[in-house]
Structure 1
Amino acid sequence: MQQLTISRSRITSIDLLRGVIMVIMAIDHVRDFFTNVRFDPSDLTQTTPGLFFTRWITHFCAPVFMLLAGTGAFLYGQKRTRAELSKFLLTRGLVLILIEFTLVHFAFHFNFRYDLILAIVIWALGMCMIFLSLLVWLPLKAILAISLVLIIGHNALDGVNPADLGSAGWIWNVLHVPGFFSLGPDRGLVIGYPLIPWIGVMGAGYVFGKYFLQDTERRRKIFLQLGLIITALFIIIRSINIYGDPRPWSTQSSSLYTFLSFLNTNKYPPSLSFLLMTLGPAIFALGLMEKAKGPLVNFFTVYGKVPMFFFLLHFYLIHLIALITGMAQGYKATEFLTINTNFPKDWGFGLAGVYTFWAIVVLLSYWPCKWYGNLKAASRNPLLSYI
């Protein structure tokens, strides 16, 4: 009876964590479109602590999104057959890939020229769901074993170069090393999220879902303990500085920048250290959120209940606001009908401006997200489950 009750109701802590993560995610995307900085915020030779942490805090988003997608798949499957779950994951994975190359593409570019095609987080999410549609046929212990091997072991493959594989090198770009592919004159494809570690994260999230079949207090204790253990493993492995990240930390000009170097783990692909650093605190936070109540909880769960809707909406808002702001400053509209990396070189704002536009985007998204969440809750249309 307990399992049946849980599978038919939303779990507030999941929606809350996902909502917090989605709102934090928007910081990075607003920064991409509005910043006046033309270097990587993680470049310790140029960055400032404020800029570094503005980027670093958003590192939590993709791992948590992938983990909770796996957890959501497990809970979805509690009232369905394995075949139904597998079919849903396969179908949703294909839909997400289609969304990446249509709706997300247009949000980035505001044109359909397809001169630069990005296979990034939504593509990776869709591909991981397709792989998970196969993994769900295995016992949970087997899924966990495969997932841990992918998460823990993939850094042993860091020395493998796609160029060493000849004509098959593109496969390694898809699986482990980000890459660019020329598709003809002035046209290319970027693989930004190689799949191996992300498949592991989603698979681990699927197994993680079993804890939500337990009572609240029990799973709360598990999440707090597991979060602390994973975070401690990050500190230990990162301190040893031998395995777990292709970018070892080093002593810098000050203790603060040495600390930044310690935190400056590799995201593309996500290293073992990166995943431990982000998932440990996130799981601990999930434990804290199990009993959370109040206006802030209600605010963030509005976004957490409709993560894909918010993802799409906020990109369109960001690009549209950038276009309007640019025109108000005297730029031509055509200068913003392209991907953000092609915006005017002298365009942009400092961190104060970035955070101001972030707040505007988040607040403008609130009522549309609330409306769509109510629509999903009241409707039995299966198509709404895909966004």
Structure 2
Amino acid sequence: MNAEIPNRSKRILSIDILRGLVMIIMALDHTRDFFHIDAMTGDPLNPDTATGILFFTRWITHFCAPTFVFLSGLSAYLSAQNKTRAQASSFLLKRGLWLVFIEIAVVSLGLTFNLQYNFIILQVIWAIGWSMVFLALISRISYQIVLISGFALVFGHNIFNLFPALENQTTGLILKIFFTAAGTVVPLSATHLVGVFYAILPWTGIMFLGYGIGVWFNKNYNVERRQRNLLITGSLTVLLFIALRLINSYGDPAPRKEYHELFKNVLSFFNVSKYPPSLQYACMTLGPAILILAFTEKLNNRFTKIASVYGAVPFFYYIIHFYLLHTILVIAFFATGHSTKEIVQVPFLFRPVAFGFSLPIVYLIWFGVVASLYLPCRWFKKYKETHLQWWLSYV
């Protein structure tokens, strides 16, 4: 089987920079989940209880998942340019199903360290996988249908917030999994649970929109025109977020709460729903992401070179960082005097509720983990550039 991997010499640097940046930031949230003392008991985005630095630590990571999904759609469009429509669809279908399997078998294990899989966690890779499956089907029809479907899903899925929950249990569960999941736990047996934390179709809409702007990144597309389009689109998206947030009537499951303190009102303004990704959340995160794509079009410095290394091998980085973080967690668990009786916790083994460190320690661990993965990512990036095995197109 021939390898179907892009020529790394033709990679678009701005995409790798943005993707690398969000991969670096993403690790901060996972580090906080594993190591912050209040991660299992508090809400870092609650304006009533959060400090500014705690709120920011969680809020800044909101940009990661939608940007990554958006760029996955963009990359899918670029990859399809070297294939027939049938070939591109077939590849997306196989890669999507592969990612769903990886989420269940590999990512969940890295998160929980539970070899019995008592709690399977379905998050962003699950959503990307199914989004690719849907993209494989819709893209066979036409590019225009993908774009229209993307707008309909992103702008329209919050309509479900206006109606009461369905009484039929099966129909209600299907609706949650596809549209409204905000932490839906499905029991498989008395000892095994599945947590669906990413509703599929709102994320599919974001991927479709990423696919939609792919035409701006064709090799023959004028660079200045692309940059102008990105600046206009990103700016309008940010303005739409501000307008929707001020109107406060549509685009988020929970209306913005008013406080008598300026600080709490600022936090409340930016406290939008990620589960599922509301329209306001999508605008808040994708607007700046699109602007960064524009600003990094011709940017080339030490930091962008480092970020682009992570961005060139995101799947490799994503898998490895979970296992590294959880291994450090096991070491910290025993080093802080916890016993084997405390190992079994839900959902994470070796992560008791009464465990953790202050935010400065969390940041220190995060920096160490990201820095330690730079050389492995650089090695794998070079490996992909110099090898043609078919499986490299799936990682």
TM-score range, shorter chain: over 0.9
Q: Is the 8 A contact 2:329 2:350 kept in 1?
A: no
Q: Please say if residues 8 and 385 of structure 2, whose CA atoms lie closer than 8 Å, have aligned partners that are also in contact.
A: no
Indicate whether 1:44 and 2:52 are aligned. no
Other-structure match for 2:390: 382
Give 2:238's match in structure 1, choosing from 226, 231, 241: 231
Confirm or deny: 8 A CA contact 2:333 2:351 kept in the other structure. no
Partner of 1:326: 333
Whether contact under 8 Å (2:329, 2:351) holds in the other structure is no
Structure 2 counterpart of 1:242: 249
Residues 1:259 and 2:266 are matched in the alignment = yes
- The Cα of 1:325 is off from its aligned counterpart by 1.8
3-state secondary structure, aligned to 1:118: strand
The range that moved more, 338-347 or 217-226, is 338-347
Letter in 2 for 1:10: R
More displaced stretch, 77-86 vs 39-48: 39-48
Write the letter of the residue equivalent to 1:363: A
Equivalent runs, 1:70-149 vs 2, <5 Å: 70-149=73-152
What displacement does 1:177 show?
Answer: 2.1
2:360 is aligned to 352
The secondary structure found in structure 2 opposite 1:268 is coil
CA distance in 1, matches of 2:140, 2:313: 28
TM (norm. structure 2) is: 0.93
Hey, what's the Cα distance between the residues in 2 that align with 1:241 and 1:82? 42
Taking the aligned partners of 1:215 and 1:7, their CA distance within structure 2 comes to 21
Partner residue in 2 for 1:269 = 276
* SS at 2:168 equivalent: helix
1:167 to 154, 170, 173: 170
More helix by share: 1
Alpha-carbon distance in structure 2 between the residues aligned to 1:10 and 1:318:
30
Give the secondary-structure state (helix, strand or coil) at the position aligned to 2:187. strand
Report the Cα offset of residue 382 of structure 1: 1.6
* Cα distance in 2 between the residues matched to 1:173 and 1:165: 12
Match of 1:198 among 197, 203, 208: 203
Deviations 1:34-82 (A, max 9, x none): 0101211112222111111110000011110111000000000111101
Amino acid at match of 1:90: L
Residue 23 of structure 1 aligns with which residue? 24
The one-letter code of the counterpart of 1:11 is I
In 2, Cα distance between the equivalents of 1:312 and 1:336? 22
User: Secondary structure in 1 aligned to 2:24?
Assistant: helix
Aligned residues of 1:24 and 1:57 also touching (Cα < 8 A): yes
Aligned-pair identity (%): 40
Q: 1:121 to 1:336 in 2, by over 3 A?
A: farther
C-alpha separation in 2, matches of 1:117 and 1:163: 25
What amino acid is the match of 1:24? Answer: I
Is the aligned partner of 1:57 residue 2:72?
no
Counterpart position of 1:67:
70
Structure 2 CA distance, aligned partners of 1:84 and 1:382?
14
Structure-to-structure mapping, 1:183-222, within 5 angstroms: 183-213=188-218, 214-222=221-229
Q: 1:290-329 to 2 correspondence within 5 Å?
A: 290-329=297-336
Distance in 2 of aligned mates of 1:142 and 1:94: 22
For 1:147 and 1:8, the matched residues in 2 are separated by 30
CA distances 1:148-177 after superposition (whole Å, capped 9, x unpaired): 011101111114455423332221121112
Is contact 1:155–1:244 with CA below 8 Å preserved after alignment? Answer: yes
SS in structure 1 opposite 2:272?
Answer: coil
Instruction: Name the CA distance, whole Å, in 1 between partners of 2:161 and 2:313.
Output: 36
Change (3 A) 1:304 1:333: farther
Equivalent residue, structure 2, for 1:154: 157
CA contact (8 A) 1:41 1:52 kept: yes
Q: In angstroms, what is the RMSD of aligned CA positions?
A: 1.7
Q: Does the 8 A contact of 1:326 with 1:333 survive in 2?
A: no
Partner Cα distance (1:13, 1:121) in 2: 22
Contact 1:180–1:188 (CA<8 Å) still a contact in 2? yes
Structure-2 change in CA distance of 1:342 and 1:165 (3 Å)? farther
Distance 2:87 2:214 in 1: 18
Deviation at 1:138, TM superposition (A): 2.5
| Cα displacement string for residues 77-119 of structure 1 (whole angstroms, at most 9, x for unaligned residues) | 1111011100110000111011111111110121211111111
Which range is displaced more, 327-336 or 283-292? 327-336
Alpha-carbon distance in structure 2 between the residues aligned to 1:26 and 1:250: 29
Q: 255-264 or 36-45: which moved more?
A: 36-45
What is the Cα deviation at residue 6 of structure 1?
9.3
Structure 1 gaps, min length 5: none
